[in-house]
């Protein structure tokens, strides 16, 4: 097994393509230490150490069954770790459920679009604001005009997010009319509606056309430019490698390498074992 590649010289905020971003803070926002998950006798994730910084795009790659989704589920609160710790912004969050993770600023998207059917695009995004709008109904009942003004502001913010992901002209459309790629963008807008500090994107480019991937790449960069940390699982290396600041490689539940995309791409053992053809990766 190869020793994990260490960062050498290249700091986050640069990626390997697109425009440079402001330097990412060196203090990690999320710190996972010894994170492990067992399902009976199956060890899905073993002793994983992971750091994510504000404004950083961290890619997580590896073959099917490597433990990527299990790692996401533990960070998002869908699964409790068997052992290990999760610290977010200096606070211990290990084992908290998904709604508690969301309340602390950790949001996620899924591999498959999960819109609220029979609702408009705007209504779907406003559902994502529920954490910030809790009690809004009581404010409407008790505070009158001020509460109505607050609700109008929520609509304005939802429309800004919808425009940000490129769905402005569909804000009043039923979600059932969106294409698959548009549904992907809606998932991101809804996750951003809760004003997260860390967003987990689970294979966001899966099933997208090259043009949709290019648009999505720009959106992810812009999210990071806003200071939001991005943790990204992706199988499409041509999408991920120019985008990520750092990459972590998992196999059989263990971290086998980490480093900048250039460092990962230069490691022939990693490329040949987990990424396929080295020439294709060089062209990415």
Largest CA distance in the chain: 65
User: Which pTM value belongs to this model?
Assistant: 0.83
pLDDT tops 50 at residue 193: yes
More confident residue, 283 or 40: 40
- Does residue 196 register a pLDDT over 90? yes
Q: Which two tokens stand for residue 19?
A: 């425009």
Determine the average pLDDT of the residues in 121-139.
71
Instruction: Write down the pLDDT at residue 149.
Output: 72
Pick the more confident residue, 211 or 133: 211
Total residue length of the chain: 284
pLDDT for 97: 95
Q: What DSSP character marks residue 24?
A: P
Q: What is the pLDDT of residue 235?
A: 87
Please state the rounded mean pLDDT for residues 212-231.
95
Tokens 């998904």 sit on residue: 98
Q: Which domains does the chain have, with CATH numbers?
A: 1-18+25-113+199-204+229-284 (3.40.50.300)
Q: Look at 81 and 267; give whichever has higher pLDDT.
A: 81
CA-closest candidate to residue 180, choices 123, 133, 115: 115
CA triplet 101, 105, 107: central angle to 5 degrees?
A: 70
How high does pLDDT run on average in the chain? 84
Which residues on neighbouring strands pair with residue 252, listed in sequence order?
none
Contacts of 146 (CB under 8 A, 6+ apart): 139
- Model confidence at 146, in pLDDT bands (50, 70, 90)? low
Contact status, residue 159 vs residue 122, Cβ threshold 8 Å = yes
The predicted structure's pLDDT at residue 17:
45
| Structural contact between residues 137 and 151, judged by C-beta atoms closer than 8 angstroms | no
Q: Which of 75-84, 125-134, 149-158 is modeled with the greatest confidence?
A: 75-84
Phi, psi of 198 (to 5 degrees): -135, 130
Residue-wise pLDDT tens digits, 6-46: 333 334 444 544 445 556 567 899 999 999 999 988 999 99
Which residue(s) pair with 254 in the sheet? 251
Instruction: Round to whole Å and give the CA distance between 258 and 49.
Output: 11
Q: How far apart are CA 231 and CA 243, in angstroms?
A: 12
Q: What is the pLDDT of residues 226-252, one digit of tens each?
A: 999 999 999 898 999 999 999 999 988
CB-based contact 155:179 (threshold 8 Å)? no
Q: What percent of the chain has pLDDT over 90?
A: 61
């Amino acid at each position: 097994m190869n020793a994990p590649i260490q960062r050498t010289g290249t700091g986050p905020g640069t990626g390997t393509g697109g425009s440079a971003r402001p330097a990412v803070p060196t203090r990690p926002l999320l710190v996972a230490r010894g994170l492990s998950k067992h399902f009976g006798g199956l060890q899905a994730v073993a002793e994983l150490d992971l750091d994510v910084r504000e404004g950083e795009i961290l890619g997580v790659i590896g073959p099917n069954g490597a433990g990527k989704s299990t790692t996401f589920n533990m960070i998002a609160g869908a699964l409790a770790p068997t052992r290990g710790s999760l610290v977010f912004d200096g606070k211990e969050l290990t084992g908290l459920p998904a709604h508690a993770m969301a309340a602390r600023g950790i949001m996620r998207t899924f591999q498959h679009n999960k819109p609220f059917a029979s609702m408009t695009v705007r209504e779907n995004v406003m559902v994502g604001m529920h954490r910030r709008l809790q009690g809004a109904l009581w404010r409407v009942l008790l505070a009158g005009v001020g509460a109505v003004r607050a609700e109008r502001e929520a609509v304005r913010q939802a429309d800004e997010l919808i425009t940000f992901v490129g769905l402005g002209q569909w804000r009043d459309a039923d979600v059932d009319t969106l294409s698959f790629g548009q549904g992907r963008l809606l998932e991101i807008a809804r996750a951003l509606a809760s004003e997260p500090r860390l967003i987990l994107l689970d294979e966001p480019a899966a099933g997208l056309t090259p043009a949709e991937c290019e648009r999505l790449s720009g959106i992810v960069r812009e999210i990071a430019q806003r200071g939001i940390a991005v943790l990204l699982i992706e199988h499409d290396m041509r999408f991920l490698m120019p985008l990520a600041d750092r990459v972590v490689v998992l196999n059989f539940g263990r971290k086998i390498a980490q480093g900048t995309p250039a460092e990962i791409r230069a490691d022939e053992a990693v490329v040949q074992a987990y990424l396929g053809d080295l020439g294709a990766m060089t062209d990415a």
